[in-house]
Amino acid sequence: MESQVGLIEQSFHSSYSFCVREALVELPDNFTITDPCMSGHPIVFASHGFLKMTGYTETEVIGQNGRIFQGPGTSRRSVMEIREAIREERAIQIHLLNYRKDGTPFWMLFHMCPVFNKEDGRVIHFVGVQVPILRKPRRLGSGSGRNGVDLCEEGSTGMHDVVYGSCRREVCSDSLLELDHVLARESPVDTTNRGFEIEEPCEASDMEKRRAVTAINNILSVLTHYSELTGKLVCGKRCSLSGVGLPSSSLNISLGRIKQSFVLIDPYLPDMPVVYASDAFLKLTGYARHEVLGHNYRFLSGLDTDSLTLCQIKESIKMERACTVRILNYRKDRSSFWNILHMSPVRNASGKIAYFVGVQTEEACKKQEEHEMSPEMRQLSAVGAVKVAVRSSSMAAGSSRS
């Protein structure tokens, strides 16, 4: 857990000054910030407004994926559209049914946009603004009696007060079945003959859409200002083409599920830099992610690192073949460790080499219990998982362009 907390702190402080959280807390909007480079694409910041709206505490939200707010009525299609926007690293504004901690559903306008590193064009965060949708009054059908009373009416009584309480607690349902579920959960009143009209999902008003855009702009303004103080500028639009060789956000998320220590190297960029580093690699070496990305793998070398072994690694990349070497590497604190490094090419769906993956195993940790997978098998398993993730990502990218 401590390592997760440390990575979340790095997620912010690698790009922004330490005062950024205080500035974000002052914003009145409901929003979260997530990091697609971390395992599980977790939430790294949640505003007070968002916590109040959902009923969760900060400790219950930070480090979690946004799926914890989804439920049985959440549209799978909408979720897939959000995932597609993440994969394509673009903004999206969509209506979504989410759930509070106590299980009550609510409709919101979800506006998400990526935050780019201005220098290399990679996505470092996603900002997600949630604007609750206040429904316009609607009337009961003819079977309801009571002359078609407005459900959102301040003076509504009886079952309507029990179920809805106020306009802010109204719930739209995708189907009659979902409305049955909501009513059964919130009200003891018999609902067999309620005569409700089946409605389409709630639509946000123009004012609510403008509110979402304004909130995004305010958040980006804060992030931009506090990134200027560190000299590591961020922006809401990709400002550099040098990030073309970096993994997409969706690939980052897939790679984040792999628990082994590994890096991805792009052989087509100058000096073949590391373009992805797993959380386990950062823990093993002591480096922060921003200290690794964009640098050649040789930064782990030191005074006693064998130059012939380095040449062997370089030659294997040149010949496009896998190799396994034993090499003396150095952590950030300059303590040394013997690294059993397995390097292998990774091809995309068209068969072209997209990256080289380097999987690290500390020699001191090689001895495992008999029932556990051997280090060699774990390395090969990690390589296989990386290959599947890269191939799947390139296939998805190809289909979206066709």
CA 386, CA 390: separation in Å to the nearest integer?
6
Greater model confidence, 201 or 180: 201
C-beta neighbour count of 334 within 10 angstroms: 9
Instruction: Identify the burial level of 157 via C-beta atoms within 10 angstroms of its C-beta, where 0-12 means exposed, 13-18 middle and 19 or more buried.
Output: exposed
Instruction: Indicate if 258-401 has the same CATH topology as 2-133+203-235.
Output: yes
Q: Which of 5-19, 58-72, 260-274, 295-309 has the lowest mean pLDDT?
A: 5-19
Domain borders along the chain are 2-133+203-235, 258-401
Evaluate the CA torsion angle 330, 332, 333, 334 in order and state its sign: positive
Q: What is the mean predicted confidence (pLDDT) over 76-87?
A: 90
Assess whether pLDDT exceeds 80 at residue 171: no
Give the end-to-end CA distance of the chain in Å, rounded to a whole number: 43
pTM: 0.59
The answer to whether the CB of 99 falls within 8 A of the CB of 105 is yes
pLDDT in tens, 23-51: 999 999 999 999 988 888 999 999 999 99
pLDDT of residue 252: 85
DSSP lists the bridge partners of residue 347 as: 353
pLDDT of residue 4: 65
Evaluate the CA torsion angle 231, 234, 237, 242 in order and state its sign: positive
Q: Which two tokens stand for residue 313?
A: 């690694």
Assess whether pLDDT exceeds 50 at residue 324: yes
Q: What is the mean predicted confidence (pLDDT) over 323-351?
A: 93
pLDDT in tens, 112-169: 999 998 877 788 899 999 999 986 544 444 444 444 444 333 333 333 333 333 333 3
pLDDT of residue 194: 32
pLDDT of residue 71: 93
Q: What is the mean predicted confidence (pLDDT) over 274-301?
A: 90
Transcribe 282-332 into DSSP letters. HHHH---HHHHTTSBGGGG--TT--HHHHHHHHHHHHTT--EEEEEEEE-T
The class that CATH gives domain 2-133+203-235 is: alpha beta
Reduced to 3 states, what is the DSSP secondary structure of residue 128?
strand
Phi, psi of 65 (to 5 degrees): -80, 150
Residue among 270, 234, 267 nearest 345 (CA): 267
CA 245, CA 294: separation in Å to the nearest integer?
11
CA 28, CA 49: separation in Å to the nearest integer?
6
- Could you give the angle at which helices 76-88 and 375-401 cross, rounded to 10 degrees? 100
pLDDT of residue 51: 96
Q: What is the CATH number that goes with domain 258-401?
A: 3.30.450.20
